Amino acid sequence: MNIHTYTPTAVDQIIVPHLAFQNAKQRIETHLLAAQHYKEPTCIAVVGESRTGKSRLLECIAKQCPKQRTDHGLVIPVLCIRIPSKPTVKGLVETLLREIGDPLWAKRGSENEKTERLYTLLKQTRTHTVVLDEFQHFYDRMSHKVQHYLSDWLKIFVDRSGLTLIVAGLPDCMAVINQNDQLRGRFLAPIRMPRFDWQKEEDRYEFGACLECFQKALQRFDLPELASESMAFRCYCATGGLIGYVAKILHQACINAQMDNSAHDGKLVITMADLGRAYAEAVWCDSITPLMNPFATDFDATPVQALLDMAQHIGTASPEVTTARTRKLSGKYLPTAAEVLAA
Ligand SMILES: Nc1ncnc2c1ncn2[C@@H]1O[C@H](COP(=O)(O)OP(=O)(O)OP(=O)(O)O)[C@@H](O)[C@H]1O
Ligand SMILES: [Mg+2]
């Protein structure tokens, strides 16, 4: 197969309606409906670790209310942006203006002028909901400080615009809400997008159902039975129960199968060895991912505690490398987490 005959694998087109996803979607949809007849601002936070499907969930919500060109101009019922890193109020407003399609978003103007323009355009485009993804950028990880001027601006924005606000971010972002009494009072209890936990029966079942769903959607590929107990556990060890990693490995395996073009009964074949290769190519291997490839034939797929513990760390950032100087400054030698794991 060459690049000219390549067809998209469609892994990123698949929506797995797992329980947490369905519950979250339903909660948001209910509030969007109710907010039309409710004066108080409705603010919802979707919180979860990286790759748990927060952005995908918000995409699904936004797709249900697409932009429309009407005789009265452009209508944008749901305006979605990703908050830039190290945001300023002006930067945030400019990002919103750009997404609305304002050709003057980058033109000179004060923060207040741009904010006023935003209020006007949001009215014109009959926007009822603003979605802010990457909300953890309101929190400075380096200094562990919330950017209070941003959260204050947001509170005023929500009150004055009367729009429904949905934010999504890593667990850190809850500090932004919790450290501002007024913002906190406006937010509902957060919607949590969890990773699946093999030690909980319900999650184990859900994870298996997700794998089955992916397999069904990838019918043009001949895959090993992903939802069988041993395969599901291998997949769990490879992904830590994060749906984003499942999608990533399958996508890689599908690309490889297309390039290798090893067909059987009209389907492109993906063997266990191919999954192993996809895992090695798609998932970053460092000190916190399992040392052994979970798709290797000699991998012991018995759910022992050490493997379960290791899987929990997949997708989390590697421990920071502590320089000799910083360690010296702390007075006594403290081994890094990476050194402990490697010992
Ligand atoms: N319900 C789902 N069905 C199918 N695929 C999904 C689903 N949720 C997530 N994915 C897949 O997982 C990938 C990661 O999801 P997403 O980008 O939504 O994660 P996230 O929680 O926003 O991560 P981050 O915090 O790193 O931005 C997506 O590209 C998508 O392919
Ligand atoms: Mg995201």
Which residue's alpha carbon is at the smallest distance from atom 1 of ligand 1? 16
Taking only the tens place, the pLDDT of each residue in 53-112 is: 999 999 999 999 999 999 989 999 999 999 999 999 999 999 999 999 999 999 889 999
Q: For residue 53, give the ligand 1 atom closest to its CA.
A: 18
Give the position of tokens 């050490």: 306
Q: Is the pLDDT at 331 greater than 50, yes or no?
A: no
Mean pLDDT of the chain: 88
Give the position of tokens 């934010």: 167
Q: For residue 242, give the ligand 1 atom closest to its CA.
A: 12
Q: Give the closest ligand to the alpha carbon of residue 20.
A: 1
* Residue 333, SS3 per DSSP: coil
Q: For residue 14, give the ligand 1 atom closest to its CA.
A: 4
pLDDT of residue 161: 94
CA of 241 to the centre of ligand 1 (A): 12
Q: Give the closest ligand to the alpha carbon of residue 192.
A: 1
pLDDT of residue 324: 46
Q: Is the pLDDT at 321 greater than 60, yes or no?
A: no
Quote the pTM value.
0.88
Neighbours of 87 (CB within 10 A): 18
pLDDT of residue 141: 83
DSSP run (H or E) holding 44: strand 43-48
d(CA 130, CA 133): 10
pLDDT of residue 164: 96
* Residue 291, SS3 per DSSP: coil
User: Which region, left, alpha or beta, applies to residue 241 given φ > 0 means left and ψ of -120 to 50 means alpha?
Assistant: left
Q: For residue 52, give the ligand 1 atom closest to its CA.
A: 21
Which residue's alpha carbon is at the smallest distance from atom 13 of ligand 1? 244
CA of 269 to the centre of ligand 2 (A): 31
Mean pLDDT of 37-63: 94
Q: Which of 6-15, 24-33, 291-300, 321-330 has the lowest mean pLDDT?
A: 321-330
Q: Is the pLDDT at 292 greater than 90, yes or no?
A: no
Pairing status of strand 191-193 against strand 164-169 = unpaired
- Looking at domain 39-193, its CATH class is alpha beta
Q: Give the closest ligand to the alpha carbon of residue 246.
A: 1
pLDDT of residue 303: 93
Neighbours of 22 (CB within 10 A): 12
CA of 326 to the centre of ligand 2 (A): 33
For residues 52 and 194, is the Cβ–Cβ distance under 8 A? yes
Give the position of tokens 């998932």: 283
pLDDT of residue 239: 96
For residues 252 and 16, is the Cβ–Cβ distance under 8 A? no
Q: Give the closest ligand to the alpha carbon of residue 51.
A: 1
Helix axes 272-282, 243-260, angle to 10 degrees: 120
Query: Please, where in the chain does CATH 3.40.50.300 lie?
Result: 39-193
Q: Residues with Cβ within 6 A of ligand 1?
A: 12, 14-16, 21, 48, 50-56, 170, 243-244, 247
Taking only the tens place, the pLDDT of each residue in 132-148 is: 999 999 998 888 888 89
DSSP annotation of 321:
P
pLDDT of residue 270: 96
Q: For residue 18, give the ligand 1 atom closest to its CA.
A: 1
CA of 222 to the centre of ligand 2 (A): 30
Q: Is the pLDDT at 323 greater than 70, yes or no?
A: no
